[in-house]
Amino acid sequence: MALSLHFHPLSSFCHKALIALNELDIEVERRFLDLGDATQRAEFLARWPTGKMPLLVDGDRVVPETSVIIEYLAKRYGRPDQQLVPTDEDAAQEVRLMDRLLDLYVMLPMQAIVGDRLRAEADRDPIAVNKARGTLAMAYGMLEERLADREWAAGEHFSMADCAAAPSLFYAATLVPFGESQRRLGAYFGRLMQRPSVVRTLDEARPYFKFYPYREGLPEAYSP
């Protein structure tokens, strides 16, 4: 097996893929990607034009996009008892829906807010940041409702949707804390933070949290 993953240890989407790798017990060669380095950036863009990480490379095959990477790994290299995307079609559809909701309405607005903070002050966009904060609040409300009848994001079993939830909520909570009325969401986040695949991923990222601009809001266990 010649699997490698191009990643950065602080990146939330990379955490999503790493959590899945841990769940599936798959070891890959990890290639640290520094997109701030012009040579690495040019090489990476030549391989995958969106320039988005993580990127899985399997021999000659390039596998982009976290949800596609996770399904690819689970189908080809996962154990049959590790169904991050269930074989039952209805259950699989719920996993894919929750995965999309978490990527689009938690991960992306969180990224937008953090990205804004990393810009020079003159280039910041408070309107976009406010909108992103509103999206996070909306998503928390939606998750609170959906968690009424389930332990994990898409049902009774840990799935690809939880791989998306853990890093997105980990960082999003530093920007918009969970509300008093969002108890199910808070409890769910607690379960995620205890999941061994998540603990391992966050532990490995620990030396880098000092570079996260909203580090003061990180859970105490990961406070630099």
Binding site for ligand GSH (CB under 6 A): 11-13, 35, 51-53, 65-66
Least Å distance, CB 81 to ligand GSH, is 25
CB contact at 8 A, 98 and 139: no
The nearer residue to ligand GSH, 63 or 147, going by C-beta atoms, is 63
Helical segments of 60-176, H only: 66-77, 89-102, 108-118, 126-146, 160-172
Q: Which H or E run includes 58?
A: strand 55-58
Looking at beta carbons only, is 51 or 190 nearer to ligand GSH? Answer: 51
For ligand GSH, the closer of residues 31 and 150 by Cβ is 31
Cβ closest to ligand GSH, residue 30 vs residue 184: 30
Closest CB 175 distance from ligand GSH, rounded Å = 15
If the CB atoms of residues 54 and 186 are measured against ligand GSH, the closer one turns out to be: 54
Min dist. Cβ of residue 52 to ligand GSH (A): 4
How near is the Cβ of 75 to ligand GSH at its closest, in Å? 17
Q: Which residues contact 10 (CB under 8 A, 6 or more apart)?
A: 205, 208, 209, 211, 212
Would you call 119 exposed, middle or buried from its count of C-beta atoms within 10 A (0-12, 13-18, 19+)? exposed
Task: Tell me the closest approach of the beta carbon of residue 53 to ligand GSH, in angstroms.
Answer: 4
Distance CA 147, CA 142 (A): 9
In the Cβ-directed half-sphere of 59, how many Cα atoms lie within 13 Å? 1
